[in-house]
Structure 1
Amino acid sequence: MASPGPDRRSRRFLFGGYVVVVASFIAASVYTAEHIREIDVASDEIARDAMPTIRCLAEARHLLGQFEIESAAFAAVPVTPAARAAAEAPLRALAEQVGVYLALPLFPGERPFWEDVRRGTSRFVGAANRMLGQADAGDARLARETFLREVRPAAAHLHELLSRDLDFNARNGSQLAEHIKAVRARGLWLSLSLGVLCGGIALLAGRVVAGQLRRHDALVSEHERMMEERAGELEAFAGRVAHDIMNPTASAQLAIDLELRRRQAAGEPAGEGLERARRSLRRIQTLVAGLLGFARAGARPEPGAAADVVEVVHDVVSGAEARATEAGMTVGAELVPGTVACAKGVLTSLVANLVDNAIKYARRDGRVVIRAAPDAAAIRVEVEDDGPGLPPDLGDRVFEPYVRGGAGDVPGLGLGLATVKRLAEAHGGHVGVRSEPGRGTTFWFELPRAAAVSELRGSRAGSRPAHRARTWLRGPRRSRGRCRRDRGRTRCGGPRADPSAARRWAPPGGAAPRRRRPPRRAPRGTRAGPTARPRAWAGRGTGRRAA
């Protein structure tokens, strides 16, 4: 039978340590409560029995001594009234104190002392009262004999009884105090012992937890590494799939377009089958492009990348003109210059996905507005439409893959907003949505600013406007020709002909930069120099020279 693994043993140890700590805490609490009860009982006995008894007995003994002093006058003849009054006062107080003592609770074993004090007090008080009565009767000689024969021996005996009972109560009080001290010492020792035990168990449990956390961190790191590898494999696989699917569909699309052009040139009808095939191919290309973009959205961001918000939004708005014109919409932008920390293609994908989504669901003759507002650490880009809005129960679920919030007849997979979320979060940003049914929807994303890159570009350009750029585009616009020099040939046209051509747009109030001409070269057989006259180029993009 296989032994349990380290994780299971660690969990068992943690559970056992937890049980021991809890049991120790409960035991310490119960033991402390019991000791506190014992201390309370002992304290009550001291406060209720020992202290009042000791106080009464001590006071009675003091009054007895005072009576003996005052009654010494009865040994002489005659006894004066002042001497009689001085002896009667402590006698009365002594009787009261002994009465209080007799009413107090008794310690175990104190009953014999209590009986002796009661009888001795009764004997002494009786003899003293007879002596005082004889003195009142004027028989001084008899009063003197009673004092010497009865009162003085009874007082001495009572003094001995009071002292013995007082010593007994003092010993009991001292024993109770020692008991309280011992109980406190035991409680302190037990508390320290249980504290050390719980601390040791907690240290061991902490060590086990630290080991578990280290293993967990290692597993998380390994999981992240595997996820990155899987993401790379998924991206490569998506690229291969897109290549394998897009190439045949592109060839089929080209063949269908050529056939449609041939029929159109020959005056023949296009045919419903060809149109349906072309629409199906375009749908396939759209789906594959969406899946490919979603698969690549979680890729690691490019270090040091930066993108100009105004430039990218202008390009996206320009590219959306045809669709906006077809739908009868107005696409506008209200921007503040700023630079975000991501590649230009990433920012283009973010803005384009939101703009395409807005154009899909906005009402006809509606308006789509793109806004960019920077703050200290990030730039927020918002795309607002005046469409029907989102259902109230949808919320942020609209950013999940394959979740769609519009009508079912709108084409799409539901991956555009999911791609936006993955791209934004992969670059340290986040996304959100605000919507009211019947009043439109505003999707937004935030990306960290690239302040250093923005300042560097501003210092190089020197002509970037500091005011808010406001652009409103509607209807078709003629595309500008873009040419570049490549291996002795002039190539023109296409958005990828010149990487810097995307920056050649005139902001409001500024002049467009002049396009550079291709350099001239000296004709064959001549030396290049100040006097050499180059031949003219035959045309754009032909790559051939005029004879």
Structure 2
Amino acid sequence: MHVTKAARPGVPMPIRNLSLATPFVVLALVIAGFTLTPVWIQRHSAQVREPAFAALASSVRDLGELVEVRTQLHRAIVARAEDGDAGDQEGALRDLRAAFTRYAAAQSAPPAQLAAALGRFERDAPGTDAREARRSAERLGTLLMDELAAGTRRAGAASGRLEEIRSRSLRLVNALNLLWASLALVGGLVAAVLVRRHQRVVERLRLVEQTRASELEQFAGRVAHDILSPLASVSPGLQVLSRKLDGDSAAHRAVAAIRRSLDRVSMIVDELLRFARSGAQPVPGERADISRVLESARDDLAPDAEQRGVTLQFEAAPQVEVACGEGAMLVVIHNLVRNAIKYIGDGPRRLVVTRAVVAAQSVRLSVQDSGPGLPAGMEQAVFAPYVRAPGTHAPGIGLGLATVKRIVESRRGRVGVWSDPRKGATFWVDLPLARRV
């Protein structure tokens, strides 16, 4: 239906929006990185530290058990040296064997040398040969000291491993924080550049829109001036014709209808002139009865619709006033309905429905047609000046919908369109209700 003219050259809109959003995505990732890095480092370090912690705990436990074995060995030696009761010596040997059993149970490989030395000491200690008993005790004590030294080295290695893990984790945290900070700096600089570039583009577009609006207002003024001159000569001619038709009531009714239409055309022309002179700014306190305006528009537009074979339907309108002049409302309705009639296509069902619905603080006026609808993505472009359907032979230069948008938005209203290839297009405007006086 209403297809925009060729797009401006430049970067496609999706790519431009993506490039504008990229630095902000980077900043979001940086923030997520700063937030998640400590959590990840903590979990990673815990996984790496777990074996070292286990080794350290095992070494400390083994050292404790070895110290207990050595303590019990000292008791057994003292009990034999004092030549005490045989029961005391047997008890000391049992405690020594129990301490060694606990230590051996915790080892992955049985301590064979310690077991052999302990067995020899248990055999020689109760005997009468003090020299053999002493050699057995020294042998067991030396092995215990060697085992204690090995356990101390294992504990030291585990502790060193933990310190290495802590240092490496700290270096990793610092490196990642530096990376995130660098990305944040780069992202911030790119964002600043893109935002400034976007602001310049927006400013250029604003200037273009202002220029187009000015051109639109100047064009409306020229058109209104060109129409006003012929109208000035038509009205006296109607008066002369009316005097010469005495007694012909049908002719008088036709002349009266023509005069009413001319009055509405004059109102529209006056509104276009005022639109051009005031820069589309509304007159303070202006108001229009929406029901009366729609009725006038229906009388004006019905002949054109009938000539084109289009059924024109105006639903009953509410008795409310909108904050918009009657001439401006006629301009809006005429443009919307004529636009629907012009582009309705050649389908079997050719219907244009106009309705007005009251909301809380506004009135929504909609014009729905049964045509082919709009191409996808063109809902905003159709309201730009000089938009025309490519290849269309319908008369016009593409300023109707732009004029509608300019008039409605200057009254703090809104314009829009819904489109469905199966149901046609529905153009709508929202205008605020007039304040009660």
TM-score (norm 1): 0.50
1:130 — aligned with what? 123
CA distance in structure 2 between the aligned counterparts of 1:433 and 1:376, rounded to whole angstroms: 21
Q: Give secondary structure in 2 for the equivalent of 1:451.
A: coil
- Alignment of 1:204 with 2:194, yes or no, is no
Give yes or no for contact 1:64–1:91 (8 Å, CA) kept in 2: no
The C-alpha deviation readout for 1:143-196, integer Å capped at 9, x for no partner, is x5543x223323432342233223322322332232233223323332343344
2:332 — aligned with what? 350
Q: Give secondary structure in 2 for the equivalent of 1:334.
A: coil
Question: Residue 218 and residue 413 in structure 1: after superposition, are their counterparts in 2 closer, same or farther (change >3 A)?
Answer: closer
The C-alpha deviation readout for 1:486-521, integer Å capped at 9, x for no partner, is xxxxxxxxxxxxxxxxxxxxxxxxxxxxxxxxxxxx
Q: Which has the larger radius of gyration?
A: 1
Pairing of 1:40-55 with structure 2 (within 5 A): 43-55=49-61
CA distance in structure 2 between the aligned counterparts of 1:184 and 1:68, rounded to whole angstroms: 45
Give yes or no for contact 1:379–1:448 (8 Å, CA) kept in 2: yes
Structure 2 residue identity aligned to 1:175: G
Pairing of 1:89-488 with structure 2 (within 5 A): 89-95=95-101, 97-98=103-104, 100-101=106-107, 103=109, 119=113, 121-122=114-115, 124-131=117-124, 135=126, 140-142=127-129, 146-147=132-133, 149-236=134-221, 238=223, 300-304=280-284, 305-317=286-298, 334-352=316-334, 371-382=355-366, 390-391=370-371, 418=401, 422=405, 424=408, 427=411, 428-432=413-417, 445-452=428-435, 455-456=436-437
Q: Give secondary structure in 2 for the equivalent of 1:302.
A: coil
The Cα of 1:54 is off from its aligned counterpart by 3.0
Q: Give secondary structure in 2 for the equivalent of 1:58.
A: helix
1:462 — aligned with what? none
The Cα of 1:332 is off from its aligned counterpart by 6.5
1:67 — aligned with what? 73
Question: Residue 130 and residue 394 in structure 1: after superposition, are their counterparts in 2 closer, same or farther (change >3 A)?
Answer: same
Question: Residue 42 and residue 171 in structure 1: after superposition, are their counterparts in 2 closer, same or farther (change >3 A)?
Answer: farther
CA distance in structure 1 between the aligned counterparts of 2:159 and 2:204, rounded to whole angstroms: 66
The C-alpha deviation readout for 1:339-363, integer Å capped at 9, x for no partner, is 22322112123334566789999xx
The Cα of 1:300 is off from its aligned counterpart by 2.7
The C-alpha deviation readout for 1:375-410, integer Å capped at 9, x for no partner, is 2122123568xxxx7256668989786669xxx9xx
CA distance in structure 2 between the aligned counterparts of 1:377 and 1:65, rounded to whole angstroms: 96
Give yes or no for contact 2:371–2:425 (8 Å, CA) kept in 1: no
State which drifts further: 393-402 or 221-230: 393-402
Question: Residue 57 and residue 35 in structure 1: after superposition, are their counterparts in 2 closer, same or farther (change >3 A)?
Answer: same
Question: Residue 208 and residue 236 in structure 1: after superposition, are their counterparts in 2 closer, same or farther (change >3 A)?
Answer: same
Structure 2 residue identity aligned to 1:193: L
CA distance in structure 2 between the aligned counterparts of 1:35 and 1:330, rounded to whole angstroms: 72
CA distance in structure 1 between the aligned counterparts of 2:73 and 2:60, rounded to whole angstroms: 20
Supply the RMSD in Å over aligned alpha carbons.
5.6
CA distance in structure 2 between the aligned counterparts of 1:421 and 1:157, rounded to whole angstroms: 106
Structure 1 residue identity aligned to 2:430: L
The C-alpha deviation readout for 1:305-330, integer Å capped at 9, x for no partner, is 33221332343355568889999x99
Q: Give secondary structure in 1 for the equivalent of 2:428.
A: strand
Q: Give secondary structure in 2 for the equivalent of 1:376.
A: coil
Structure 2 residue identity aligned to 1:376: A
The Cα of 1:373 is off from its aligned counterpart by 2.7
* Structure of higher RCO (CA pairs closer than 8 Å, 6+ residues apart): 2
The C-alpha deviation readout for 1:49-104, integer Å capped at 9, x for no partner, is 33313312321221231233145333355753564144134325415624744639
CA distance in structure 2 between the aligned counterparts of 1:61 and 1:232, rounded to whole angstroms: 102
Greater helix proportion:
2
CA distance in structure 2 between the aligned counterparts of 1:127 and 1:63, rounded to whole angstroms: 15
Question: Residue 424 and residue 435 in structure 1: after superposition, are their counterparts in 2 closer, same or farther (change >3 A)?
Answer: farther
CA distance in structure 2 between the aligned counterparts of 1:433 and 1:38, rounded to whole angstroms: 55
Question: Residue 355 and residue 233 in structure 1: after superposition, are their counterparts in 2 closer, same or farther (change >3 A)?
Answer: closer
Give yes or no for contact 1:309–1:338 (8 Å, CA) kept in 2: yes
2:259 — aligned with what? none
Specify every segment of 5 or more residues in structure 2 that has no aligned partner in the other structure, as ranges. 1-15, 245-264, 345-349
- Alignment of 1:80 with 2:62, yes or no, is no
The C-alpha deviation readout for 1:243-269, integer Å capped at 9, x for no partner, is 89x79xx99xx9xxx9xx9xxxxxxxx
Structure 2 residue identity aligned to 1:336: P
2:248 — aligned with what? none
Q: Give secondary structure in 1 for the equivalent of 2:370.
A: coil
Specify every segment of 5 or more residues in structure 1 that has no aligned partner in the other structure, as ranges. 1-10, 105-116, 262-285, 457-547
Q: Give secondary structure in 1 for the equivalent of 2:316.
A: strand
CA distance in structure 2 between the aligned counterparts of 1:332 and 1:33, rounded to whole angstroms: 66
CA distance in structure 1 between the aligned counterparts of 2:223 and 2:65, rounded to whole angstroms: 106
Give yes or no for contact 1:57–1:97 (8 Å, CA) kept in 2: no
Structure 2 residue identity aligned to 1:300: A
The C-alpha deviation readout for 1:436-492, integer Å capped at 9, x for no partner, is 98xx9896633322432xx12xxxxxxxxxxxxxxxxxxxxxxxxxxxxxxxxxxxx
CA distance in structure 2 between the aligned counterparts of 1:95 and 1:79, rounded to whole angstroms: 25
Question: Residue 196 and residue 318 in structure 1: after superposition, are their counterparts in 2 closer, same or farther (change >3 A)?
Answer: closer
CA distance in structure 2 between the aligned counterparts of 1:436 and 1:41, rounded to whole angstroms: 61
Give yes or no for contact 1:432–1:445 (8 Å, CA) kept in 2: yes
Give yes or no for contact 2:72–2:95 (8 Å, CA) kept in 1: no
1:491 — aligned with what? none
Give yes or no for contact 1:429–1:447 (8 Å, CA) kept in 2: yes
The C-alpha deviation readout for 1:220-248, integer Å capped at 9, x for no partner, is 3322332233334443554577689x79x
The Cα of 1:415 is off from its aligned counterpart by 7.0
Alignment length (residue pairs): 362
Structure 1 residue identity aligned to 2:138: P
